[in-house]
Structure 1
């Protein structure tokens, strides 16, 4: 019974962590009809699908690999693997974003794509998304479900504030969507990197 209660408590915090993201996306969708026409909606859907696909590919299976490394060597000996994961995902995230920029710029050249201002936010978005995934995985490994839920709420609030501020100052809607999410993810990743307090020398045995 105690084990079941512990699981339910952990699941509760992960459920709470997922809720702000849902509400944030719901709010963005509610705001979109005032800014987007039918063509914009179609391009938003295509762009979102492309970003999700390429971000997943750019993660190169590092998340399960990192989890296995921690399982094999222990939580206290994970820093070398974490640093390597962060470095690799930073590079692949940037490359994924740049690849998308090149792809949709090419489509725009042939008059098959309209929204180009949003493209410049994609490298930042893909980079911070990859980093957020690995830091989030590290928190789960360290059984920090409650802290993860709090960070999710903070990330959502920061994202919405930036999003609304960008709209209020005349930024493009799609650019505001992706850039606000990328910036808020980046802020959380910076806070998490400082909170880890990784030692200078790693125990790799």
Structure 2
């Protein structure tokens, strides 16, 4: 993502435009959140939860964000990610093992070069492309599913909150969300061969 695209998306995302929020989340917020936590050895589940918490905090802070460049938002996301990790460490009272800088530099990208837009280097380019294709196909087939999945990741912390936003009961929301996840997984499986 370049500065021009960011300047285009940021005002819309601040006004809670789902498309702009989804694009910012996918291309900038999520990958940088993951990188900001890479210096500690968290178990995979905890790491995923912390990345999600950081991304949610960034999205909640977007209306007050005043930066205009990709570098400024990356710094903002990085700082939020570090704060989330530090808060988690303080709460648990036990610091996870830190990865030495030399090891981090040599192994963090698993042989994949950093891309120009800050994508997560631990995810191979082919996987990123596959996920993007699957999201595009999901949008063509079931735009409501893409909206639901985007909302649960970016805006809502619970099924109850999502149900209120989409005007359904909790049970109907669970069924809808399960169907959307199932459809997305089927698309991914088909595209991956």
Fold shared by both chains (TM-score > 0.5): no
Q: Where is the helix percentage greater, Structure 1 or Structure 2?
A: 1
Q: TM-score, normalised by structure 1?
A: 0.29
Q: TM-score, normalised by structure 2?
A: 0.30
